[in-house]
């Protein structure tokens, strides 16, 4: 699961983008000013930054410049500044892409995937067993090099497990990750998802933790 830092001082927009990307199986953290964002990049590991320009304490161009002094972490600017000079400045300060507000969430998703595939093109396959692997970029489960169909919720669950081996997840945490916002979760359905994954990747790979939830044995 790729970890994205969303740096946007408009809390409503920040929340909307966070909810949307979480539904798309990304892990998201938020910052609301430039200095806080820079501190978080220093202290944590992220796979991509979504970076507003007009920020309190330190503008996004300055944040990008500082990040580039120690990291190649990909940056996508999200900003209302649409002038050619601003766009050029964004790329010169280290941006990998530049998206002008207002933007559609689907376009944002496509641009994120394009940048991630370009930057992390050699880090897509996660080996589950000698004959089973998961392509994290395309969300494809492969067995003996052939694609295996599983539902979207099963795919989200598998991705959650693979990115967090040996971590125990409560049922509530799993529900929050695999169900879309506003959709009623189902314990019975979760058992079906778990059983489906066990049949494909091995019963021993997904443990039931009594009275708590489940964990993937990595």
Share of the chain above pLDDT 70, in %: 97
Rounded CA-CA distance 175/160 in Å is 11
Same domain, 85 and 130: no
Q: Hey, which residues does 30 pair with through a beta bridge?
A: 6
Given this model, what pLDDT does residue 91 score? Answer: 94
Given this model, what pLDDT does residue 51 score? Answer: 97
Domain count for the chain, please give it: 2
Question: What is the average per-residue pLDDT within 20-47?
Answer: 93
Same domain, 138 and 207: yes
Which is more confident, 183 or 54?
54
Select from 31, 52, 53 the least CA-distant residue to 42: 31
Same domain, 23 and 65: yes
Q: Mean pLDDT, the chain, as a whole number? A: 91
Same domain, 135 and 170: yes
Residue 68: domain span: 3-119
Same domain, 87 and 181: no
Same domain, 25 and 89: yes
Global model pTM greater than 0.75: no
Q: Hey, which residues does 99 pair with through a beta bridge?
A: 78
Question: Which among 63, 91, 119 is the end of a domain?
Answer: 119
Same domain, 67 and 130: no
Same domain, 15 and 35: yes
137 has pLDDT over 70:
no
Same domain, 109 and 179: no
Rounded CA-CA distance 138/131 in Å is 18
Provide the edge-to-edge strand list for the sheet that holds 168-170: 168-170, 213-216, 206-209
Question: What is the average per-residue pLDDT within 4-24?
Answer: 95
Which is more confident, 106 or 122?
106
Given this model, what pLDDT does residue 121 score? Answer: 65
State both tokens at 160. Answer: 């959650």
Same domain, 31 and 134: no
Q: How far from 177 is each of 1, 110, 170, 183, 185, CA to CA, in Å?
A: 11, 20, 11, 12, 10
Rounded CA-CA distance 12/72 in Å is 29
177 has pLDDT over 90:
no
Question: Which among 119, 137, 162 is the end of a domain?
Answer: 119
Listed range (20-29, 113-122, 163-172) with the worst mean pLDDT: 113-122
Question: What is the average per-residue pLDDT within 15-40?
Answer: 94
Backbone angles phi, psi at 125, to 5 degrees: -95, 130
Same domain, 114 and 160: no
179 has pLDDT over 80:
yes
Same domain, 33 and 56: yes
């Amino acid at each position: 699961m790729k970890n994205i830092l969303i740096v946007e001082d408009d809390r409503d927009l920040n929340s909307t983008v966070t909810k949307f990307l979480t539904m798309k199986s990304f892990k998201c953290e938020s910052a609301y000013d430039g200095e806080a964002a820079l501190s978080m990049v220093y202290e944590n590991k992220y796979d991509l930054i979504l970076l507003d320009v007009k920020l309190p304490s330190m503008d996004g161009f300055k944040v990008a410049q500082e990040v580039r002094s120690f990291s190649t972490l990909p940056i996508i600017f999200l900003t209302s500044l649409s002038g050619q000079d601003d766009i050029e400045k964004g790329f010169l300060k280290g941006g990998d892409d530049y998206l002008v507000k207002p933007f559609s969430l689907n376009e944002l998703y496509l641009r994120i995937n394009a940048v991630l595939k370009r930057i992390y093109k050699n880090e897509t396959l996660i080996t589950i067993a000698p004959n089973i692997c998961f392509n994290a970029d395309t969300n494809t489960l492969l067995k003996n090099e052939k694609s295996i169909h599983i539902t979207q919720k099963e795919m989200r669950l598998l991705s959650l497990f693979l990115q967090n081996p040996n971590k125990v997840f409560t049922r509530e945490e799993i529900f929050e990750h695999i169900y879309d916002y506003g959709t009623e979760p189902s314990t019975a359905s979760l058992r079906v998802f778990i059983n489906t994954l066990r049949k494909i990747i091995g019963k021993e790979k997904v443990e039931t933790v009594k009275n708590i939830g489940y964990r993937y044995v990595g």
